[in-house]
Amino acid sequence: MSETTPLPERSRIVEQHLEAAGVTPEIRVLPDSARTAVEAAAAIGCEVAAIANSLVFLADGEPVLVMTSGGHRADFAVVAASVGADRVEMAPASVVRSATGQAIGGVAPVGHPEPLRTYIDEALRDIDEIWAAAGHPHTVMPLTFDTLQQITDGRIIAVV
């Protein structure tokens, strides 16, 4: 992060959650929005597959966080089977905001008002450096797969 660019409030909350988990945060502020995996990868200079999309789904009506590789789209039927739900659908923006305290396009794996049941795409295990949103559409952070699993207590699942 640039010393002259202050972190947005939501990113500071993410930073505090990371520090509390014993992780030294490396949150970066991007000049442009990184709301999509393609935008984030272009801004960072990494492969799209290295972007960890934070998707909030309703699994039988309960919000859950699914961290997916930006390299593919999650299959709702596969996600439902993987999380043990009868039905999975994308959460509306209002649910994303209330469950995470963050806006779509900037949802971090942590920093939510209450911990969300979290699942991690098994494809991310093959990426050395994963990039996730850091609470705001203009902030990102590098993580390893092990760190992502540690900070979220996420269960590894298939999403495609």
* Cα–Cα dist 109/111, whole Å: 7
How many percent of the chain have pLDDT more than 70?
Answer: 98
Least-confidence region, from 3-7, 16-20, 59-63, 91-95? 3-7
With beta carbons less than 8 A apart as the criterion, state whether 130 and 31 touch.
no
Instruction: Specify if 4 maps to a domain.
Output: no
Instruction: Specify if 43 maps to a domain.
Output: yes
Asked if pLDDT for residue 2 goes beyond 50, the answer is no
Q: What is the pLDDT of residue 33?
A: 77
With beta carbons less than 8 A apart as the criterion, state whether 108 and 96 touch.
no
Instruction: Specify if 138 maps to a domain.
Output: yes
Instruction: Specify if 2 maps to a domain.
Output: no
Instruction: Specify if 130 maps to a domain.
Output: yes
Q: What is the pLDDT of residue 4?
A: 56
Q: Tally the domains of the chain.
A: 1
CATH number of the domain bearing residue 43? 3.90.960.10
Going by pLDDT thresholds of 50, 70 and 90, the confidence category of residue 1 is very low
* Cα–Cα dist 33/30, whole Å: 7
Q: What average pLDDT does range 62-86 have in this prediction? A: 96
- DSSP states of 90-112: EPPHHHHHHHHSS-TT---SS--
Containing structural domain, residue 137: 9-157
Instruction: Specify if 1 maps to a domain.
Output: no
